[in-house]
């Protein structure tokens, strides 16, 4: 399924125990044009990193 990259910003990210945050930014591979990394903003207070880079 194709989507505009701008539509992905704000998507909720969930784990088995509930929502963990939302997409703030993303980084593309400049050769294959796939998303390689997501920058998430935590909706939970986890620890020492905010935002997390996955």
pLDDT digits (tens, 9 = 90+) for 1-48: 677 878 888 888 888 878 888 888 988 898 998 888 888 888 665 555
Contact in structure between 22 and 12 (CB atoms under 8 Å): yes
Give the pLDDT confidence score for residue 31 in this predicted structure: 92
* pTM of the predicted protein model: 0.60
What are the b/e assignments for 2-35, b being 16+ CB within 10 Å?
Answer: eeeeeeeeeeebeeeeeebbbbeeeeeeeeeeee
pLDDT of residue 5: 76
pLDDT, residue 17, reads 78
| Residue 38 confidence (pLDDT) | 85
């Amino acid at each position: 399924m194709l989507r505009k990259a701008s539509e992905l910003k704000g998507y909720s990210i969930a784990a088995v125990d509930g929502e963990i945050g939302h997409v703030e930014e993303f980084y593309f591979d400049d050769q294959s044009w796939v998303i390689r990394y997501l920058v998430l903003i935590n909706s939970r207070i986890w620890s020492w990193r905010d935002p997390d880079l996955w």
